[in-house]
Amino acid sequence: MSGGATTTRVVTSLTNPTVKAVRALHMRKARQETGLFLVEGLKSVAEAVDLGRVPRILLHAEAADHPLLQRAAALAGETLIVSPAVLAKISRRDNPQTVLGVFEQAFTPLSALDPGASRCWVALEAVRDPGNLGTIIRTVDAAGCGGLILIGECCDPYSVECVRATMGSVFAVPIAKVDAEAFIDWRTTWPGAVVGTLLTAEADFRAAIYRDPTLILMGNEQAGLTSQLAAACDVTVKIPMRGRADSLNLAVATGVMIYAATG
Ligand SMILES: C[S@@+](CC[C@H](N)C(=O)[O-])C[C@H]1O[C@@H](n2cnc3c(N)ncnc32)[C@H](O)[C@@H]1O
């Protein structure tokens, strides 16, 4: 398959229309309007291509030359060679990656998730920190979980910060988003255990019965799990806090729970 247009002269201007459009993807409004998102680094771009995703736009530095980049460029709708200063402005970093890709967002409808496809799934209520969300997406991928369900007002999994933290796993993990009422309704059809996490729970997480497929439910960074969602769980558990800290970081707690559920 051959790719789209390639600009062979080096683009140095921030007013170039493609550069402007790619920079705008730092804003949630632009991502919502276009359905696109920005991915930094050849590793993540190559991961996307491996999974059958086609870059809409590819930008790279003049010296960047790698078989994986050539493969991505052959597919891309548009390829631009850009100056280091333009890469730095787009990435908002002093030492930017030399390859950037723009891809289509791909949320999965809740109805398309197959609970039997994995022993473990994760649902997050109102996650707010993109670094936490990206780390959780990476952990869900690494542990072989089936996917991630975002409940309520969550931060955007396709923000640049979140995608950066996923290290390419954003392409490998099915992500659904849903409001609390629709989740509670859908949860009634769940064939395995629904295990919620609460600092005030009686049960130790190691004592819970994780009946496959287990759906782990994690709460918001500040407020924890709402009583509405805690009531929708078969059981709620806590991870013991032995020092002075009163809770674990959300992403760390999610990792502990995933490995408890999958052994
Ligand atoms: C930073 S904690 C929330 C703290 C919040 N102040 C509260 O009272 O729940 C964010 C989420 O991480 C999980 N979490 C953190 N530490 C935990 C623990 N020790 N046991 C169970 N879940 C925990 C829960 O899902 C929690 O909702």
Q: Is 224 in the pocket of ligand 1 (CB under 6 A)?
A: yes
Angstrom distance (rounded) from CA 18 to CA 208: 52
Q: Which of 220, 226, 248, 256 to mutate to test the pocket of ligand 1 (most atoms within 8 A of CB)?
A: 248
pLDDT value at position 3? 67
Distance from the alpha carbon of residue 261 to the mean position of ligand 1, in angstroms: 17
Angstrom distance (rounded) from CA 53 to CA 51: 6
Per-residue pLDDT of the chain (263 residues; tens, 9 = 90+): 456 777 668 999 999 999 999 999 999 999 999 999 999 999 999 999 999 999 999 999 998 789 999 999 999 999 999 999 999 999 988 888 999 999 999 999 999 999 999 999 999 999 999 999 999 999 999 999 999 999 999 999 999 999 999 999 999 999 999 999 999 999 999 999 999 999 999 999 999 999 999 999 999 999 999 999 999 999 999 999 999 999 999 999 999 999 999 98
168-200 b/e with 16+ CB inside 10 Å = b?
Answer: bbbbbbbbbbbebeebeeebeeeebbbbbbbee
Residue (of 2, 158, 147) closest to 72 by Cα position: 2
Q: Are strands 194-197 and 214-218 parallel, antiparallel or unpaired?
A: parallel
**Tokens 């960047």 identify what position?**
64
Please give the structure tokens belonging to residue 170.
């954003």
Q: Is 30 in the pocket of ligand 1 (CB under 6 A)?
A: no
Given a contact cutoff of 8 angstroms between Cβ atoms, the answer to whether 168 and 43 are in contact is yes
Distance from the alpha carbon of residue 200 to the mean position of ligand 1, in angstroms: 9
Domains recognised in the chain with CATH numbers: 5-104 (3.30.1330.30), 110-262 (3.40.1280.10)
50: number of Cβ within 10 Å = 13
